[in-house]
Amino acid sequence: MDMPDLEAYEYVRELFLTQNVLDLDQEVGMMKEQKKVYTRVRMLIREIRKSLDKLTILYTTLVELSKTLNLQNCAVWMPNEDRSLMNLTHGLSHGSAVEYHRSLPIDDLDVLEITKNEGVRI
């Protein structure tokens, strides 16, 4: 290579390296920004979880299940301590668990059908 070609080559190489450095700086900046956003979102989620009590989460879940499955009511049934009865503990319709205090024997046909399946029974 003669001198002008070598100078042109070095100039192009320097421009190429400079552009690579700028591109890398931009990528590093975006990665830092993504990390900041990720950290803020995690902190926000943590705060939301702290501020919500279990009953609020349960009620919201019942509402969303009811909407998704197009139900008039959605309820939570829990076994008692000796697992002989299923007690209605929470319901979406106003006062359903409080008003009715419903319990079903654990060997009720509906209870058995529900507990043997992994899916949802509507």
Task: Report the pLDDT value the prediction gives residue 97, as an integer from 0 to 100.
Answer: 47
Long-range contacts of 77-81 (CB under 8 A, 24+ apart): 77/104, 77/111, 79/106
Domain segments of the chain as ranges: 1-51, 54-116
Per-run averaged pLDDT (10 residues), the chain, 122 residues:
76 91 92 87 80 80 84 85 88 60 83 78 61
Task: Report the pLDDT value the prediction gives residue 82, as an integer from 0 to 100.
Answer: 92
Task: Report the pLDDT value the prediction gives residue 1, as an integer from 0 to 100.
Answer: 57
Q: Is 70 helix (H, G, I), strand (E, B) or coil?
A: coil
| Phi and psi torsions of 79, nearest 5° | -70, 150
Place of tokens 């319709």: 93
- DSSP element (H, E) containing 8: helix 3-51
